[in-house]
Amino acid sequence: MDSLRIHEVGLRDGLQMESQVVPLETKISWIERLIAAGTDIIQVGSFVHPGKVPQMADTDQLFRELSSRNIRSERTVFSALVLNEKGLDRGLIAGVSMLCMGVSASETHSRKNTGMSIAEATERIIAIGKSAVNAGVKVQMSVQSAFGCGYEGPVPRERVLGIARRFMDAGFTTISLADTAGHAMPDAVEALFEGLRSTNDAAEFACHFHNTYGVGLANCFAALRVGVQYFESSIAGLGGCPFTKIAGGNVCTEDLVHMTQHMGLLPDVNLAQLIALATDVEAFFQRELPGTVHRVQPIPERVSGHHSNGSTH
């Protein structure tokens, strides 16, 4: 648990569902505040077709601005999502140090998301990933719809593990399981990650949960129990996949940090700054967002040895 890292995906996965385009300067301000709060990884955007995801149309410019203004931190890594060879080329030109890519374990979701079968997408993404590694870039490979599909329902465990094994056999050592449809439950989370670890206990594992059915934080706790290191979450709970049947929000960053800090983890992350940012993000979109802690405020730190004499429900 000591190696827990937050991968903030609000600027990519969070915004891709929003019709209201966020101006470049606002994105830069949010990134600066996430850096100041001590976020480990910030997913700045995705190199995808701007016509399909208009919120990501400025990703190339955003990376240029971050570089030219020297906006960076020794602690924080900037990541981005790529889906194909053109996206990889754009990412390399932009100087991205960590690229995220992957395939779906659902045939239906794969075809809706990429236009390819699982087998076709896997071969293609492995080739793209190897090109990125050869260029000196860290690569995280993801298995999407790993815990179920909004179109197909349950996804066979062996299919998920089989895709992950293909990635690891190809030399990729950071593997993410993404709960695209929000179907994950804690027992399945533990079992699937334990299955991955038994395949390669030297790999680093990441998780990406959606809170579609209200169990996102419970799934994060389950992932913690089995040694998952990287947790993808979104400020104020923004987001969801537009290519799944029911788009539920991401696990909320400040809610996740609030929970883990009460477990003695992530002491260097500034929760108050995350809450302030989440409040401003909610004000920007002028509606209540899924996150909780930024509205109700955090539970005060426990006092050692103190026990309540009673409670009300």
Instruction: Note down the domain range covering 129.
Output: 5-296
**For residue 248, what pLDDT is reported?**
60
Kindly state whether residue 305 falls inside one of the protein's structural domains.
no
Kindly state whether residue 229 falls inside one of the protein's structural domains.
yes
CATH of the domain at 242: 3.20.20.70
Whether 100 is catalytic: no
**For residue 240, what pLDDT is reported?**
53
The pTM score is 0.92
**Number of domains present in the structure of the chain:** 1
**For residue 304, what pLDDT is reported?**
42
Of 100, 220, 241, 252, the catalytic one is 241
Q: What is the pLDDT along the chain (313 residues), one digit of tens a residue?
A: 558 999 999 999 999 888 899 999 999 999 999 999 999 999 999 999 888 889 999 999 999 999 999 999 999 999 999 999 999 999 999 999 999 999 999 998 888 878 899 999 999 999 999 999 999 999 999 999 999 998 899 999 999 999 999 999 999 999 999 998 899 999 999 999 999 999 898 899 999 999 989 999 999 999 999 999 999 999 999 975 444 444 568 999 999 999 999 999 999 999 999 999 999 999 999 999 989 999 999 999 754 433 434 444 4
Distance CA 185, CA 222 (A): 9
Kindly state whether residue 164 falls inside one of the protein's structural domains.
yes
Kindly state whether residue 186 falls inside one of the protein's structural domains.
yes
**For residue 174, what pLDDT is reported?**
97
Q: Count of CB atoms within 10 A of residue 202's CB?
A: 7
Continuous H helices in 170-288: 186-199, 216-225, 253-261, 271-285
Kindly state whether residue 302 falls inside one of the protein's structural domains.
no
Kindly state whether residue 152 falls inside one of the protein's structural domains.
yes
**For residue 234, what pLDDT is reported?**
96
Q: What is the dihedral of CA 100, 53, 216, 163, to 10 degrees?
A: -40
**For residue 201, what pLDDT is reported?**
85
Distance CA 140, CA 129 (A): 9
Kindly state whether residue 304 falls inside one of the protein's structural domains.
no
Kindly state whether residue 180 falls inside one of the protein's structural domains.
yes
**For residue 107, what pLDDT is reported?**
92
